[in-house]
Amino acid sequence: MTAPGPIDASADGRARAVIEAVTPQVDAGRFAVKRVVGEHLDVEADCFADGHDVVAARLLWRPENESAWREVPMAPLANDRWRAGVLLEAVGAYRYTVRAWVDAFASWRRDFARREDPADLRTAARVGATLIADAARRAGAGERARLEAWADALATVAPDTTAPDTAARDGVARGDTAPARRGLRDLGLDPALGALAQAHAEPRFAVTHPELPLVVDRERARFGAWYELFPRSTSAVPGRHGTLRDTAAWLPYLAELGFDMLYLPPIHPVGRTKRKGRNNALAAGPGDPGSPWAIGAAEGGHTAIHPELGTIADFRRLMAAARERNIEVALDVAFQCSPDHPYVREHPQWFRHRADGTVQHAENPPKMYEDIVPLDFECDDWRALWRELADVMLFWAAEGVRAFRVDNPHTKSFRFWEWAIAEVKRAHPDAVFLAEAFTRPKVMHHLAKLGFSQSYTYFAWRNTRRELVDYLTELAHGPGREYLRPNAWPNTPDILTEQLQHGGRAAFAARLVLAATLAASYGVYGPAFELAERAPRAPGSEEYRDSEKYELRHWERDRPDSLAPLVARVNRIRRENPALQSNESLRFLDIDNEQLLCALKSSADGENVIVAVVNLDPHHPQSGWVDAGPDAFGLAGDAPWQMHELLTGARYLWSGRRNFVSLDPAKVPAHIFRVRRRVRTERDFDYFL
């Protein structure tokens, strides 16, 4: 027979409660759950104990930089499941946990209510008096007096009676024990005194679940419309290199379109060695500006501004002008260098070298990036490299930048990102990081866990109804919903999908509505998007012909075929309807045509309900029947209701389970409906809310 092992001195064997299956949590607490200010953290857990005693549970939470816990009681649901929630009111890092224990006072109260024998009731009353007296010692003066009086009344019951009052004792003397039992039981179960004692009861032998991390971001981490443009292409004069002052002149246009975020590709000096020419040609011609992602030259590196764009003073003026129009400027973080970057000369140990001693350029066979040299995150001097790169982000944060779009984060060290993002957010908790990682799903999810606030998605390549429904449902309701916030982009400077190439203007319009309604955050690369730029560099390529990654472009924004009015309308609809500002309510309604997609979102209070119907066929009109009754739209009864079409202003009356829609892509390939409830007033006429 095996001898028993030693008793764990660090654990109290008298603790009987068990806590399991705490949600939400990410990888058993290894990574943080994410929320934004104004949202709730709703926590559930299985809490139980051996035997039949009553269990109590509380949700504990605190800012990470504070030691004192804040507590809220958890409410039992069913089958030993408990729940509590807290409103999150400030940006920052938090910790939360669940505590459970056997509640001696609640167990006594429950059993006291069941007792019938007078002697048993008297004995139980004295047990309760001890528990109440113990609670009184933890109460304030006024409450202590009330609890002590209650405990004394229960403890001083005469041995030949079951109630402390004269009427009850007289009743017992007459042989009428029922009033006596009721009198003592009523005293012991007094609801006001019971609540007071419960508030000061001690959770003896409590069990606490390991702490879990939580990050609370500002609203822009969840909801926003991003617009990407190249500052060097903002000049009003064709052929002239644009400046940051020219970029500032575009702000009224972006404000009119309703964008929240202006994202700028790298604004740093561009290298000259191996500079790429037009359409990614290996040799640059005279005057070719090169790729902005080939960062670094004699003029400086990642904290410098390209001289042709302007100065740090011009950048500050751009930031101030953007703030005046409620537009935020986001910068590109591309941690790579041109061969001319000062780092190559000053810190050669941060780069890989070929056998001939030259620095290794970037490659992703068969693609070669001769104008870029990657940093070596496995170098011996990695600590200094990490510190320098974090300081780059902190430099721009000190200039007021709070949003960073990170180029190809999946090609850099995971551990670096976890440390660097935490380092920046420690100084600037409101910083937002968007991961541009079109990579394998597990890698994309891991980056989100590490601290990236948002992630690019595969939305651009999801075209059929089944693809869109499955993918957006996964993003909104899959396990990643606790940490991965999607940002849907129909196009980028690197991505011109076949759908856009061959679908024409209608495809751009449909993809706009899909991105803007299915995802709370979305973005476009403009003005290529609103001008429906769709010529590829070569057949089968997703690269733009004459891409402004390699040359200056001049855009005629006022073209009559521009989608700008539609973009402005869609962004206005997003701002005016809370249902479109989060993803958690997204669901899809049945419609009997595979070329039509019907999606519904509602606000947290259920008052704002939006239904988007999109024609996925850019070439032909499509029609179908939406199969969903009034309850699907948050409506009671079977009265007709109004569907207010927000793109055109039209109003339709729907009723019953099946309602007809028809969309012609040559006009507008989508509907965005707001559900209007029918209301009958005291004047006996109807109107719609």
pLDDT at 412: 97
Domain boundaries along the sequence of the chain? 17-103+206-216, 122-199, 225-578, 587-688
Return the number of other C-beta atoms located less than 10 Å from residue 455's C-beta. 24
CATH number at 17-103+206-216? 2.60.40.10
The answer to whether domain 225-578 and domain 587-688 are alike in fold is no
Confidence of residue 335 (pLDDT cuts 50, 70, 90): very high
Question: What single-letter amino acid sits at 198?
Answer: Q
Return the number of other C-beta atoms located less than 10 Å from residue 284's C-beta. 19
The residue among 669, 615, 613, 622 whose CA lies nearest residue 643 is: 613
| DSSP, residue by residue, 98-145 | EEEEE-HHHHHHHHHHH---HHHHHHHHHHHHHHHHHHHTTS-HHHHH
End-to-end CA distance of the chain: 77
In CATH, which superfamily holds the domain spanning 587-688?
A: Golgi alpha-mannosidase II (2.60.40.1180)
How does pLDDT run across 253-291, given as a tens digit for each residue?
999 999 999 999 999 999 999 999 999 999 999 999 999
Statement: residue 416 has pLDDT above 70 = yes
Q: What is the pTM of this model?
A: 0.91
Mean pLDDT on 580-594: 98
Q: How far apart are CA 116 and CA 336, in angstroms?
A: 80
How does pLDDT run across 462-500, given as a tens digit for each residue?
999 999 999 999 999 999 999 999 999 999 999 999 999
The residue among 518, 668, 564 whose CA lies nearest residue 227 is: 564
Q: The tokens 């009864």 sit on which residue?
A: 637
Per the structure block, which two tokens stand in for 55? 């269990």
How does pLDDT run across 516-548, given as a tens digit for each residue?
999 999 999 999 999 999 999 999 999 999 999
Convert 75-107 to b/e letters by CB count within 10 Å (16 or more is b).
Answer: eeeeebbbebebebeebbbbbbbbbbbbbbbbb
- Active site residues per annotation: 407, 436
Per the structure block, which two tokens stand in for 245? 């002052």
Determine contact, residues 458/467, Cβ cutoff 8 Å.
no
What is the rounded average pLDDT for all residues in the chain? 93
CATH number at 225-578? 3.20.20.80
In 513-570, which ranges are E strands?
A: 521-525
